[in-house]
Amino acid sequence: MGIFELILISLSLSMDAFAVSVTLGLSVKNPKTSEVFIPAIYFGFFQALMTSIGYFAGSLFAVRIQNLDHWIVFILLSLIGGKMIWESFSKDEQKLEGNPFQFIKMLILAIATSIDALAVGLTLPFFNINILYAALLIGFITFFVSILGVKIGKIFGIRFKSKAEFVGGLILVALGIKILIEHLFLI
């Protein structure tokens, strides 16, 4: 897996954080600087952390299931991407009651938006990737995408939320298919 694929995965994983950040941007009239950076810090950190946890858990099993790794990657990325595509058609709008930037609310949102990163992290040992590099890239991209989400939420509203989730889901499914095809037909 090259840098291009890793950037695509990072962008795809950041779409849940982007969608929640848009919602957070909608929840305040004029977000203060801290209200722009708080979600970015939480979401970026937890994306990197969960990717790392997934990587180390996947490393325990990588040697045992090496002959099936391409199928596992394909299935996991397709399931995660399919879930994101499905959720993009949901009519549910998240309303955040009270101060959405409170510690416990941000912690819950950060964990919830980074579950996909845990699952993707499980697949990374199959690609001999430097996990520090991958986790930092995923964390930084999520950080900046979250800042953008809060600002877009303030300016444009909710209309980009479902489109972002849909595109992120499509990218993950396409990467899963690409990896499967490469392994089955080109190796």
The 10s digit of each residue's pLDDT in 103-142 is 888 888 888 888 888 888 988 888 888 999 999 999 999 9
Whole-model pTM?
A: 0.72
The DSSP string of 91-150 is -------S-TTSHHHHHHHHHHHTHHHHHHHHHGGGGT--HHHHHHHHHHHHHHHHHHHH
SS3 content of the chain, % helix, strand, coil (to 5): 85, 0, 15
Across 36-50, 53-67, 90-104, the highest mean pLDDT is recorded for: 36-50
d(CA 82, CA 32): 35
Q: Given pLDDT bands bounded at 50, 70 and 90, which one contains residue 99?
A: confident
Q: Given pLDDT bands bounded at 50, 70 and 90, which one contains residue 72?
A: confident
The domain of 122 spans: 3-24+32-91+100-186
Cα torsion at 43, 44, 47, 51 (round to 10°)? -170
Side-chain-side CA neighbours of 28 within 13 Å: the count stands at: 16
Q: Given pLDDT bands bounded at 50, 70 and 90, which one contains residue 18?
A: confident
CB 41 within 8 A of CB 143: yes
Domain tally, the chain: 1
